[in-house]
Structure 1
C-alpha cells in the first residue's frame, strides 16, 4: 500500500469539504457574530446533524450498503442482480420513508421539550423561542439527507463515488450564498437568522435532487410513496443497524451533552465553541479520517493472511505519519490560537472579545488533537478483526469522564473546562484502545517508533518557541484587511513549517528514507 499517496488523495478530497465549511463559518461569523441568535442557530443545527450521523450516515449506511452490494454483485450477475438490488432498495424505502416522516413529525411537535432538556435552566423566553423555531425549521433536513445517504450507498455500490462525495458542498454553497444575500438586506440579526435557517432544508432539497439525478443515470428509479413492505430482509437490516446505532451513540451523546453543559454557562458559549472547533476539526478531518480510511483495507489484508508483522508495520507507519503531521498542528494552534481565530473569523459582528474567547477555547481543545487522531488510527485494528465492541466500550469510558469532569468542575472552569474535558476524554479513549491491543498481543509500539515520536515532540517544541515570538511581530496584521491577514497567516504557517521540518530532519524525527517508505506499495519494516 502507498500510504502517503492514499492519505494524500483522501485528505485532499476531505480538504475541499472542510475548506468550504471554513469559508461558510468565516462569513457566518462576520454576518451574524456570536450572540443569543447564533447560539440558538448552532444548537438547532446540531440536533438534526446528530441524528444524521448516528442513523443515516452511521448505523443505516453500515447495514444497508453491504446488503445492497451483495445483491448487486453476487449470483448470476447482469439484469438479475440489478433487479434483486432494486427490489431490496424499494422494500427498504417503503419502510424507511414513513419512519423518517414519523420521526420528523414527533420532533417537530416535541421540539420545545427537546430544547428545554438541552438548556435545563431558566432561559430568556426570546432566546428559547429562537432555538425552538430554528430547530423546527432545520429538523426536516434529516429526512432529506437520510434519503441522500441511501442513494449515495446505492451509487457507491456501482463505483459512482462522485455524487455522494460532492453533495456536502451544495449545503455550504447555499449557506454562503444566503449569508452574502442577507448581509445586503439591512435586516436585523434575528430576521437574518431565520432566513439562513430556511436555507438548510432548501439545500437538502437540492442535495436530494442531485442524488436522484445520478441514481436515474445509473438505472435506479425508486418509488418514494408505496405501501410499506416489512420483509425478512428489511427486518434483518434493522437488526444489524440497531447495534451500530448504539455503538455510534457515545460520540453523538457527547455532542448533545456538550451543548447541555455549554447552556449552563453565561455568554455565547455555543458559538465560541463552534468557531474554535472548526479549526480543531480541520487537521482531524484531513489527517485522522484520511489515515483511518487508508489503512483499514491493508490491515484487513494482512490480518486475514495472518501476517501479524505486516499488520504491525502498517499500524506503526500510520501512527508515525499521523503524529508527524498532527503534533505540529496541535502546537501551532495552541500557541497561536487567538491569532488564527482573529485572522479567520474576526470582523463584522464577531468582535475582538469573541475572538479572544474562542482562542482560549481552541488553545485547550487542540491539546486532545493528537489523541483524536490516534483513536482514528487505532480503531481500524479492531474493525479489521471484526471487533466493533471494544471501540464502543472505550468511547463510552471517555464519555463517562467527560460527564464526570463537567459535573464536578463546570462552574469552576467554565467553557474552558468543557474543552479540557473533551481533550482528557480523547486521551483516555486512545489509551484504552492501545492498552487492549497490547494486552491481546495484536500490536505493540516498538522503541524505534517511540524514539521518532519523541523527536517529533522536540521539533514541535522548537517550532512552538519560534511561533511564540513570531506572532508578536505580526499582531498588527491580524485584524487588518484581507491581504494583511493572508500575509500574517502565510508567515505563521511558513515559520512553523520551516522550523519544524528543519529541526525534525536535523534530529532524525523524519528522514528521506522514511518518506520514501510511505510511498512504497509495501512499506519495509521500520529500523
Structure 2
C-alpha cells in the first residue's frame, strides 16, 4: 500500500472515530455540563490516556516500529513475531505492576495532578474514585498500541485505525444504558472506559491472529533486542509526547482556576483533535513504518519523497482547519455542545480556548511528522533534548499567561511551546541534511496559504451574514453551521485546485481502494 493510500485509510477511520467521539462528547456535555462531575471524569479519563500516549503510542511505538519493521525487512516474519511476543510479555508485566501501584497510591496522585479539586467539597474524592475505576484501561490499551504497531508495519492499517471507534461506542452505550443505575453519569463513563480497553484489546488480538501474527504471551525475558527497545523508549517518552505533557500541565493548572476550567479546556481540545487526529495521527502512523523500511533498505531518495508528501498532506489539511476554527469558534462550540447542562457561559469560555488551541494546530501535526524522521533513523536522543526545552518554555508561559487570560492562557502556552518544538526539530533535520524540501513542496506551500486566506474571508463573511440563525436557541443553528462549513470547504477546494495547491486526481488516488491489503 502506498504512503498516501495508507494515510487515506488511517485518516478515513480516524475521521469516523472523531465523529463518534463528537457524538459521545455531545452526550457528555448535555448530561454532565461543565462542573464537578465532568471535571472529575475528564481527569479520570485523561490520566490513563496520558500514560498510554507517553509509554505506548508515543514512546513504545516510536521505538518498537523501527525495530520490528527492520526485522521484517532483514530477517523475516517469524523472527519479527518472536520479538513482538517478547516485547508484549515484558510490557504486560511492567504495566501490571505500574497499574497496581497507581491504584494503591491514587489519592496521592490526584493531589499532584488535580490539586485545585480540594477547594470543592467531595470533588477530589470523586476524581480519585473514578480514576481508580478507569485506570486499568492503561494496561489493555497499551497492549493494543503494540498490536497496532505490528499491523501497521505489515501494511494493515484499517483494524488499528478503527479501534478507537469501539471506545466511543462503548462510552455512548455506558452513558445511555447504565447512568440511571450508577451514582453519577461519571461512574457509568468510568466503567465504560474500563470495558472499552478490554474490547479494543480483543479486537486487535483477533486481527493479529488473522494475519499470522498471534501474540501469545511468552516468558518475560530481557533479551538483547528487548533491552535495546527499553533503552530507546526512555528518551522518547518526552520527545514523542510533548503534546500530552503540555495537556497534563494545563490540567494541573486549570484545576486551580474556576470550577469548569478543566472541562472547558477538554471540550476545546476535543474539537482540535478532529483535524489533529484525522491528519496528524494518519500521516505519522503511516510514515514511521514507511520511513523505517525505506532507510533500512538504503533507499534515501524514496524516504525523502515520502517525507515531503507527508508534510504536504499535513499542511494542506491542517492549515485551513486551524484557520476555520479560529474564525468561527463560537458557532462550532455552541452548535456542538450548548444544550442541557452546557450553558452559553460555557460556550464562550470553551470557544476562547479553542482559538488558542487552534493557533497551534499545524505545529502539533508537524511535530508528529518531524519526530518520525528521527525515530526512523533510530535517534531517540535529539527529540528529547528539544522537547525538554519546549516543555520548560510551556511551564513558564503557562504560569505567566494564566495570570492574564486564565484558562485561555493555558491553551495559548501549549500552542506557543509546540511551535517552538516544531521549528527546532525542523532546524536540526535541515542541518543534518534529513529535511530536503523538493520543488513540489516548495511551490505548493504558499499556494496553500493563499487558498486558506480566501476560505477564511468567506467564512468570516458567512458568519456575519448568518449571525441570527447561528445564535443560541435557533432551531436552524445546525443547518446554518453545516452550510457555513460546506461553503468553506468548497471555496478552499476550488481555490486549491485553481491556484495549484492540490490536484483533484491526487486526492482521488489517495481515496481509491487498493487491490491488496498488504504492502
TM-score where L is the length of structure 1:
0.83
CA contact 1:463–1:496 (8 Å) conserved in 2: yes
Q: CA RMSD in A?
A: 3.8
Partner of 1:524: none
Quote the Cα distance in structure 2 between the aligned partners of 1:494 and 1:335: 15
Partner of 1:20: 20
**Which of 358, 369, 392 is residue 377 of structure 1 equivalent to?**
369
CA contact 2:316–2:448 (8 Å) conserved in 1: yes
Cα offset, 1:131, TM superposition: 0.9
Residue range with higher mean Cα deviation, 124-133 or 314-323: 314-323
Partner of 2:408: 416
Partner of 1:102: 97
Partner of 2:517: none
Partner of 1:181: 177
Partner of 2:216: 222
Compared CA separation, residues 393 and 165, structure 1 to 2 (3 A): same
Cα offset, 1:178, TM superposition: 1.6
Q: Are residue 326 (structure 1) and residue 318 (structure 2) matched?
A: yes
Cα offset, 1:16, TM superposition: 2.0
Compared CA separation, residues 443 and 53, structure 1 to 2 (3 A): closer
Cα offset, 1:61, TM superposition: 4.2
Structure 2 unaligned segments of length 5 or more: list them.
512-519
Partner of 2:380: 388
Say which SS state the counterpart of residue 125 (structure 1) adopts.
coil
Q: How does 1:48-67 map to 2 (within 5 A)?
A: 48-63=48-63
Quote the Cα distance in structure 1 between the aligned partners of 2:439 and 2:162: 42
Say which SS state the counterpart of residue 105 (structure 2) adopts.
helix
Structure 1 unaligned segments of length 5 or more: list them.
521-527
Q: How does 1:280-299 map to 2 (within 5 A)?
A: 280-296=272-288
Larger radius of gyration: 1
Quote the Cα distance in structure 2 between the aligned partners of 1:89 and 1:296: 17
CA contact 2:322–2:359 (8 Å) conserved in 1: yes
Compared CA separation, residues 216 and 176, structure 1 to 2 (3 A): same
Partner of 2:135: 139
CA contact 1:504–1:510 (8 Å) conserved in 2: yes
Partner of 1:525: none
Quote the Cα distance in structure 1 between the aligned partners of 2:228 and 2:426: 33
Compared CA separation, residues 448 and 14, structure 1 to 2 (3 A): closer
Quote the Cα distance in structure 1 between the aligned partners of 2:426 and 2:505: 23
Partner of 1:203: 196
Partner of 2:516: none
Q: Are residue 473 (structure 1) and residue 487 (structure 2) matched?
A: no
TM-score where L is the length of structure 2:
0.84
CA contact 2:63–2:378 (8 Å) conserved in 1: no
Partner of 2:113: 118
- Equivalent pairs counted in the alignment come to 510
CA contact 1:337–1:362 (8 Å) conserved in 2: yes
Residue range with higher mean Cα deviation, 36-45 or 231-240: 231-240
1:148-193, Cα deviation, whole Å (9 max, x unpaired):
344555666776655444332222111111222256x3x89x6221
Cα offset, 1:519, TM superposition: 6.9
Quote the Cα distance in structure 2 between the aligned partners of 1:448 and 1:66: 28
Cα offset, 1:102, TM superposition: 2.2
Cα offset, 1:239, TM superposition: 3.4
Partner of 2:31: 31
